[in-house]
């Protein structure tokens, strides 16, 4: 009798977890946190790259609402000023700093920008550096990428991001610590057909930042790598964008993505996955059953590139089950 009760409880727990997972928009650890630890954000200096649109703009709004001191960076200064003027919070918009930045400008230029950034709030330095800026091209075959696309993608997504980190890290170490929040992508965890170069650049960030954290975590350096799947953005691109707004497959809103990113950072999670199904399921399978996961990716790979060329939904369940996908 007791064993029957035990088995029943286990089954109920498994059913509950499966149901929760089916409708989840993040990994289990992330969604278990539920709320931002406000005390980890309030009064802290947060520097956001790629803050002029998309997820970066939404992150700026949510950090401002949490009473963070903000530095906004991107190439377009006029758009940064627009974002600044729309912010509300204890330090916004009056004390929000706009700092134009081009990640592909080279180390000397970035060094000058970092010197400005760490002095914008005297005595405070930079507590969080949110690496949101990224370059992504429309989906294409791995063999079709030009040298220009390869160079531009890695200059922004990898070399510029790493160089900026190398320049900021000594200042964080001198002040006793700091936190790098890296907006990567599901493509940084799972091979992504049609996004080979973009995916490669995000995989590179995972290698660098997880190594950085291991080397300096005892000295106060924290790293949170965030991996969004397909994201709905209203004005520009974040980590990903919805390709078919009429599709039945759900995409996480940029507001929810930003909220989960800040939750992950405030709880000092090492890595966080943000997506609805089927992307979240595939990420778990690739992580814990790689042979099966890569078999699935191989199954959809060619079809995904073909659907992308027709501007269809490349995140559809139908790619897994061999059904024809709708195209515009």
Enzyme catalytic residues: 198
Give the burial class of 59: count Cβ atoms within 10 A of its Cβ; 0-12 exposed, 13-18 middle, 19 or more buried: buried
Token pair, residue 173, equals: 């170490």
Q: Radius of gyration (Cα) for the chain, nearest Å?
A: 20
Cα atoms found within 13 Å of the Cα of residue 277, Cβ hemisphere only: 12
For residue 273 the two structure tokens come to: 């996955």
Burial (CB count <10 Å: 0-12, 13-18, 19+), residue 37: middle
Cα distances (Å, whole numbers) of residue 105 to 126, 161, 177: 21, 11, 27
* Tokens 């970035």, located at residue: 110
Between CA 186 and CA 166 the distance in angstroms is 24
């Amino acid at each position: 009798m007791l064993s029957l009760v035990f088995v029943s409880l286990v089954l109920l727990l498994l059913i509950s977890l499966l149901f929760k997972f089916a409708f989840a928009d993040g990994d289990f650890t992330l969604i278990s946190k539920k709320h931002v630890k406000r005390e980890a954000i309030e009064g802290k200096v947060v520097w956001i790259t790629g803050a002029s649109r998309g997820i970066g703009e939404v992150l700026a709004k949510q950090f401002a609402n949490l009473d963070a001191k903000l530095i906004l960076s991107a190439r377009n200064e006029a758009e940064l000023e627009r974002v600044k003027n729309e912010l509300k919070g204890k330090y916004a918009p009056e004390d929000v700093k706009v700092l134009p930045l081009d990640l592909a400008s080279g180390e000397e230029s970035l060094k000058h920008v970092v010197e400005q950034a760490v002095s914008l709030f005297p005595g405070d330095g930079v507590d969080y550096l949110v690496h949101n800026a990224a370059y992504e091209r429309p989906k294409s075959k791995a063999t079709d990428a030009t040298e220009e696309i390869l160079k531009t993608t890695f200059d922004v997504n990898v070399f510029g991001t790493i160089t900026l980190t190398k320049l900021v890290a000594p200042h964080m170490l001198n002040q006793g610590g700091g936190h790098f929040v890296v907006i990567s992508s599901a493509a940084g965890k799972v091979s992504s057909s049609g996004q080979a170069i973009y995916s490669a650049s995000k995989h590179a960030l995972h290698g660098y930042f997880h190594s950085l954290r291991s080397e300096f975590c005892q000295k106060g350096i924290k790293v949170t790598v965030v991996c969004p799947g397909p994201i709905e953005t209203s004005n520009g691109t974040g980590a990903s964008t919805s390709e078919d707004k009429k599709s039945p497959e759900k995409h996480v809103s940029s507001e929810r993505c930003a909220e989960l990113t800040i939750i992950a950072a405030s709880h000092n999670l090492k890595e966080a996955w943000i997506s609805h199904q089927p992307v979240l399921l595939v990420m778990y399978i690739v992580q814990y059953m790689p042979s099966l996961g890569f078999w699935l990716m191989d199954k959809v790979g060619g079809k995904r590139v073909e659907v992308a060329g027709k501007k269809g939904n490349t995140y559809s369940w139908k790619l897994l089950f061999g059904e024809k996908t709708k195209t515009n």
